[in-house]
């Protein structure tokens, strides 16, 4: 045996010995008990996913006070029944949800029952969040546990009698709450199902776009048919009527842009929907925005009434002429002589459902207070409309809104100075 | 586009009643090019005018040539709610920082003509008190002169102290009053709160009247930043 050969054998033997020692050690090393597994910090991936989903659910919009710390709650939520104060959902052990388990968080999301057994008021959209899968709920939980804890005590609600009695919620839940995760419809595409899951679940679109009755409930048979948003005095258009925001004539790109960009060739979001796009929908992936668009476009049309014939001839000619002159002077530079707009910068008014839909509230408020589309990742420098509350009196606002609702073949109805006056009394919001 | 705009302005001047002391054109929407900051700030023009010249009343102030840092701080404060005025809070609620900065830069760079100065109807003694406060302060009440921070020409100081030129007396009074009752704030240390809390009603009236009655400056540009000579530390100058 040569020296070199002997060395080689030695090295080989040494390697074998080391390998055996490593195997033995690895077998002998104590293992973490399986019960400890959940205490291991959630992986970055799960937290990222949770952050994405928490945005899709727009948790931050309600659970953060203007200028307050993120998710620390305290924000007053005015309802027709009195003020609710949104709770702290940061992981502070004492004042937040820091000591909750993932099971307890899922039960709250899924059933609307809080950790201590309290029934939640349906201002928390658990009637939508019940559709969220356990895996998604766990991801949101992991994300919320990862944000900075904020010590801030929850403020008690200020609901009027009898609504301050939570036992009433048992009745509300019987009438309006259907518990259950989203069940895929095998007859539809995966994309449609993904869209349905987001719209019906985390997106909680029904909270505004399905009318709420005097008991604060909404009926499934009227899903997405639109309604006034309580206490905000904006009208959430029907998503099923082509006369409102029904999307029968829109292409998928226009719908997904409106959701994710905040503006498209047909119009821009404003009011409460601008907030939703700014805080939530702009962060959706292109795939998810498109899935929502596919689902929304496929909602079965449900016309409450036949579209009206054009009413331009029925409007008082003097009103029409005032409206036309004001439009030419103040509006046409952006929205065009024929109401075609300069989309997507300045939306068209001709054929724009949000102008012609039966409620004129949004058009009147926009003329009074103006508005900017939200600044989003895909449209960080949106165009905006100035307020005219100080330029036009009630008759002039009524005339110009009447004009844009009936001109160019638009199918809207005239509005009165009195309607304008009511909305002028409200603060812009 | 240009001729159309001019035509529209003419139509506007003929069809709408004059609501302000300013010429009507200044507050009727108009722009030259769609993809421009000028077109993007149309949301501001019916109140502040195309070039930020203001409405010439006590409600919608002149914002032209105010320091960009000051305008940016106000836009952020309106967006986040630390400065309260519902029409502004609503308009800028969902606009990102960078864009608000761009808007601030735009109006800071504008040099529109000044509206005719205000005819203030107060006694000479009140104007004299106003002049004294603005130019010398009042040592007996430990009030520094306005010019010490707002610049010898009262055109403000970069980056964060606003000019006090071209403003109406009622606007100045309203802002000082808001500071006195703790409704308006600036970044800590809030030098303006220290000063406003030392002013009496009469001091506010006098200073506002004298400021509003002055002839506009030849150059409205703010002074350059000079932290050393300021009598009080101001958070908005950092």
CB B103 within 8 A of CB B64: no
- How many domains does one find in chain B? 2
**Residue A27: predicted pLDDT:** 55
Task: Pick the more confident residue, A357 or B155.
Answer: B155
Inform me whether the C-beta atom of residue B34 falls under 8 Å from chain A C-beta atoms: yes
DSSP structure class, residue A82: E
Instruction: Please give the share of chain B, as a percent, with pLDDT higher than 90.
Output: 79
Question: Which segment of A231-235, B77-81, B142-146 scores lowest on mean pLDDT?
Answer: A231-235
Claim to verify: residue B174 and residue B141 sit in the same structural domain: yes
Contacts of B89 in chain A (CB under 8 A): 428-429
**Domain assignment of residue B16, yes or no:** yes
**Nearest CB neighbour to B91, from listed A331, A372, A381:** A372
ipTM above 0.90, yes or no: no
For residue A271, CA distances in Å to A28, A262, A370 come to 64, 11, 10
Nearest to A387 by CA among B43, B9, B17: B43
CB A390 within 8 A of CB B19: yes
> What CATH number did the domain enclosing B167 receive?
1.10.760.10
Claim to verify: residue B96 and residue B153 sit in the same structural domain: no
DSSP letter string over chain B? -HHHHHHHHHHHHHHS---SSS-GGGGS---S-SSSHHHHTHHHHHHH-TTS---SSSSS---TTS-HHHHHHHHHHHHHTSS--HHHHHHTTT--HHHHHHHHHHHHT--PPPPPPP-----HHHHHHHHHHHHH-BGGGTBPPTHHHH-TTSS-BTTTB---SS--HHHHHHHHHHHHTT-S--SSS-HHHHHHTT--HHHHHHHHHHHHTSPPPS--PPBPP-GGG-SS--GGG-
**Nearest CB neighbour to B42, from listed A66, A325, A386:** A386
Inform me whether the C-beta atom of residue B15 falls under 8 Å from chain A C-beta atoms: yes
Kindly identify which residue of chain B lies nearest to residue A377, measuring between CA atoms. B96
Dihedral-angle region of residue A408 (phi above 0 means left; psi in -120 to 50 means alpha; beta otherwise) = left
**Domain assignment of residue B173, yes or no:** yes
Decide which of B108, B142, B160 is a domain's last residue: B108
B21, B29, B34, B84, best to mutate vs chain A, most A CBs in 10 Å: B29
Claim to verify: residue B169 and residue B215 sit in the same structural domain: yes
3-state secondary structure of A259: helix
**Residue A50: predicted pLDDT:** 96
Given an 8 Å threshold on Cβ–Cβ distance, is B93 in contact with A325?
Answer: no
The pLDDT tens digits for B120-141 are: 889 999 999 999 999 999 999 9
**Domain assignment of residue B183, yes or no:** yes
Claim to verify: residue B88 and residue B146 sit in the same structural domain: no
Rg of chain A in Å (alpha carbons): 28
Q: Is the pLDDT of residue A139 over 90?
A: yes
CB A41 within 8 A of CB A54: no
Nearest to A234 by CA among A429, A404, A403: A429
Claim to verify: residue B132 and residue B57 sit in the same structural domain: no
Within 10 angstroms of residue B33's Cβ, the number of other Cβ atoms is 10
Claim to verify: residue B147 and residue B94 sit in the same structural domain: no
- Which distant-in-sequence residues (6+ apart) come within 8 Å of A201 by Cβ? A128, A129, A130, A131, A132, A182
Nearest to A240 by CA among A296, A185, A291: A296
Report the C-alpha gap between B166 and B116 in whole angstroms.
9
**Domain assignment of residue B118, yes or no:** no
Inform me whether the C-beta atom of residue B84 falls under 8 Å from chain A C-beta atoms: no
**Residue B5: predicted pLDDT:** 45
A20: its two tokens: 């055996």
**Domain assignment of residue B195, yes or no:** yes
Nearest to B83 by CA among B166, B162, B200, B152: B162
3-state secondary structure of A178: coil
Claim to verify: residue B67 and residue B132 sit in the same structural domain: no
Report the C-alpha gap between A256 and A263 in whole angstroms.
9
A274, A372, A373, A376, best to mutate vs chain B, most B CBs in 10 Å: A372
Query: Considering the entire predicted model, what is its pTM?
Result: 0.87
Q: Phi and psi (nearest 5°) for B5?
A: -60, -45
Name the residue with tokens 């790109």: A253
DSSP structure class, residue A371: E
Claim to verify: residue B51 and residue B95 sit in the same structural domain: yes
3-state secondary structure of A84: strand
CB A338 within 8 A of CB A408: yes
A240: its two tokens: 């099923």
Mean pLDDT of chain B: 89
Decide which of B47, B79, B108 is a domain's last residue: B108
Tell me if the bond preceding A182 is cis, omega within 30° of 0. no
Q: Is the pLDDT of residue A101 over 70?
A: yes
The pLDDT tens digits for A346-393 are: 999 999 988 988 899 999 999 999 999 999 999 999 999 999 999 999
Within 10 angstroms of residue A369's Cβ, the number of other Cβ atoms is 24
CA angle A293, A296, A298 (to 5 degrees): 110
The pLDDT tens digits for A396-418 are: 999 999 999 999 999 899 999 99
**Residue A220: predicted pLDDT:** 66
Q: Is the pLDDT of residue A98 over 70?
A: yes
**Residue A11: predicted pLDDT:** 60
**Domain assignment of residue B113, yes or no:** no
**Residue A175: predicted pLDDT:** 85
Report the C-alpha gap between A250 and A116 in whole angstroms.
46
3-state secondary structure of A268: strand
Inform me whether the C-beta atom of residue B81 falls under 8 Å from chain A C-beta atoms: yes
Contacts of B31 in chain A (CB under 8 A): 333
Question: Which segment of A38-42, A383-387, B90-94 scores lowest on mean pLDDT?
Answer: A38-42
Contacts of B42 in chain A (CB under 8 A): 334, 383-386
B154: its two tokens: 């009262």
pLDDT confidence band for A43 (50 / 70 / 90): confident
The pLDDT tens digits for A48-81 are: 999 999 999 999 999 999 889 999 999 999 888 8
CA torsion sign for A223, A224, A230, A231 is positive
Nearest to B42 by CA among A370, A169, A39: A370
CB B220 within 8 A of CB B111: yes
Question: Which segment of A368-372, B37-41, B179-183, B233-237 scores lowest on mean pLDDT?
Answer: B233-237
Decide which of B76, B108, B140 is a domain's last residue: B108
Given an 8 Å threshold on Cβ–Cβ distance, is A386 in contact with B47?
Answer: yes
**Residue A49: predicted pLDDT:** 95
Report the C-alpha gap between A279 and A55 in whole angstroms.
7
| CB half-sphere exposure, A25, CA atoms < 13 A | 6
Q: CA A68 from chain center: how many Å? A: 20
The pLDDT tens digits for A280-329 are: 999 999 999 999 999 999 888 776 666 667 888 889 999 999 999 999 99
Q: Which residues of A touch B (CB under 8 A)?
A: 66-67, 274-275, 277-278, 325-326, 328-334, 342, 345, 369-375, 380-391, 427-429
Claim to verify: residue B88 and residue B41 sit in the same structural domain: yes
Inform me whether the C-beta atom of residue B97 falls under 8 Å from chain A C-beta atoms: no
Claim to verify: residue B99 and residue B150 sit in the same structural domain: no
pLDDT confidence band for A213 (50 / 70 / 90): low
Report the C-alpha gap between A99 and A1 in whole angstroms.
69
**Nearest CB neighbour to A374, from listed B4, B80, B94:** B94
**Domain assignment of residue B171, yes or no:** yes
CB A340 within 8 A of CB A381: no
**Residue B16: predicted pLDDT:** 39
3-state secondary structure of A61: helix
**Domain assignment of residue B114, yes or no:** no
The pairing of strands A227-228 and A235-236 is antiparallel
**Nearest CB neighbour to B5, from listed A333, A384, A428:** A333
Claim to verify: residue B35 and residue B100 sit in the same structural domain: yes
Claim to verify: residue B141 and residue B233 sit in the same structural domain: yes
The pLDDT tens digits for B2-23 are: 444 444 444 443 333 333 445 5
The pLDDT tens digits for A166-199 are: 888 988 888 889 999 999 999 999 999 999 999 9
Q: Is the pLDDT of residue B67 over 50?
A: yes
Within 10 angstroms of residue A421's Cβ, the number of other Cβ atoms is 15
- Which distant-in-sequence residues (6+ apart) come within 8 Å of A113 by Cβ? A107, A119, A120
Q: Is the pLDDT of residue A39 over 80?
A: no
For residue B57, CA distances in Å to B20, B62, B85, B220 come to 7, 9, 16, 19
Report the C-alpha gap between B211 and B163 in whole angstroms.
11
Nearest to A63 by CA among A140, A162, A165: A140
Inform me whether the C-beta atom of residue B11 falls under 8 Å from chain A C-beta atoms: yes
Q: Give the domain range for residue B72.
A: 2-108
**Nearest CB neighbour to A330, from listed B29, B34, B59:** B29
Inform me whether the C-beta atom of residue B91 falls under 8 Å from chain A C-beta atoms: yes
Instruction: Please give the share of chain A, as a percent, with pLDDT higher than 70.
Output: 85
């Amino acid at each position: 045996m040569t020296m070199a050969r002997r060395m080689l054998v030695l090295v080989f033997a040494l390697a074998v010995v080391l390998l055996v020692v490593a195997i033995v050690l690895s077998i002998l090393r104590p293992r973490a008990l399986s019960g400890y597994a959940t205490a291991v910090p959630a992986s970055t991936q799960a937290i990222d996913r949770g952050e994405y989903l928490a945005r899709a659910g727009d948790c931050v919009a309600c659970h953060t006070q203007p200028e307050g710390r993120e998710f620390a709650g305290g924000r007053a939520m005015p309802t027709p029944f009195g003020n609710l104060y949104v709770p702290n959902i940061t992981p502070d052990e004492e004042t937040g949800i820091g000591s909750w388990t993932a099971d307890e968080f899922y039960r709250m999301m899924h059933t609307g029952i809080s950790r201590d057994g309290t029934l939640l008021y349906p201002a928390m959209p658990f009637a939508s969040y019940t559709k969220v899968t356990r895996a998604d709920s766990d991801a949101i939980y992991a994300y919320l546990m990862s944000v900075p804890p904020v010590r801030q005590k929850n403020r008690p609600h200020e609901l009027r009698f009898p609504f301050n009695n939570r036992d009433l919620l048992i009745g509300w839940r019987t009438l309006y709450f259907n518990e259950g995760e989203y069940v895929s419809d095998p007859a539809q595409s995966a994309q449609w199902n993904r869209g349905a899951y987001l719209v019906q679940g985390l997106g909680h679109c029904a909270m505004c776009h399905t009318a709420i009755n005097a008991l604060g409930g909404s009926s499934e048979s009227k899903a997405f048919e639109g309604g006034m948003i309580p206490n905000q005095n904006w009208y959430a258009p029907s998503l099923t009527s082509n006369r409102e925001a029904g999307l029968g004539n829109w292409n998928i790109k226009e719908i997904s842009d409106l959701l994710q960009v905040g503006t498209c060739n047909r119009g821009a979001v404003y009011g409460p929907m601008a907030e939703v796009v700014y805080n939530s929908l702009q962060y959706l992936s292109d795939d998810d925005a498109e899935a929502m668009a596919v689902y929304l476009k496929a909602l079965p049309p449900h016309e409450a009434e036949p579209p009206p014939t054009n009413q331009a001839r029925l409007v008082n000619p003097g009103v029409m002429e005032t409206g036309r002159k004001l439009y030419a002077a103040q509006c046409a530079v952006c929205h065009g002589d024929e109401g075609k707009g300069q989309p997507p910068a300045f939306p068209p008014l001709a054929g724009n459902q949000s102008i012609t839909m039966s409620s004129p509230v949004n058009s009147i408020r926009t003329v009074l207070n103006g508005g900017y589309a939200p600044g989003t990742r895909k449209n960080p420098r949106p165009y905006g409309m100035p307020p005219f509350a100080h330029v036009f009196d009630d008759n002039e606002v009524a005339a110009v809104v009447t004009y844009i609702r009936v001109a160019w073949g638009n199918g809207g109805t005239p509005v009165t100075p009195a309607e304008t006056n009511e909305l002028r009394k409200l603060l812009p919001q | 586009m240009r001729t159309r705009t001019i035509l529209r302005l003419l139509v506007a001047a003929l069809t709408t009643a004059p609501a302000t002391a300013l010429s009507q054109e200044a507050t009727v929407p108009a722009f030259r090019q769609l993809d421009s900051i000028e077109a993007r700030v149309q949301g501001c023009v019916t109140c502040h005018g195309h070039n930020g010249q203001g409405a010439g009343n006590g409600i919608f102030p002149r914002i032209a040539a105010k320091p960009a840092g000051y305008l940016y701080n106000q836009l952020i404060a309106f967006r986040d709610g630390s400065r309260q005025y519902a029409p502004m809070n609503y308009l800028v609620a969902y606009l990102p920082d960078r864009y608000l900065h761009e808007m601030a830069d735009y109006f800071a760079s504008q040099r529109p003509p000044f509206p005719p100065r205000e005819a203030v109807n107060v006694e000479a003694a009140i104007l004299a008190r106003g002049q004294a406060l603005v130019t010398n302060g009042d040592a007996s009440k430990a009030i520094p002169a306005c010019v010490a921070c707002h610049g010898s020409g009262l055109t403000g100081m970069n980056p964060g102290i606003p000019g006090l030129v071209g403003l109406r007396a009622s606007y100045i009074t309203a802002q000082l009053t808001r500071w006195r009752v703790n409704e308006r704030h600036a970044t800590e240390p809030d030098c303006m709160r220290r000063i406003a809390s030392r002013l009496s009603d009469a001091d506010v009236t006098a200073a506002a009247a004298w400021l509003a009655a002055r002839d506009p400056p030849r150059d409205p540009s703010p002074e350059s930043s000079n932290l050393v000579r300021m009598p009080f530390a101001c958070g908005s100058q950092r």
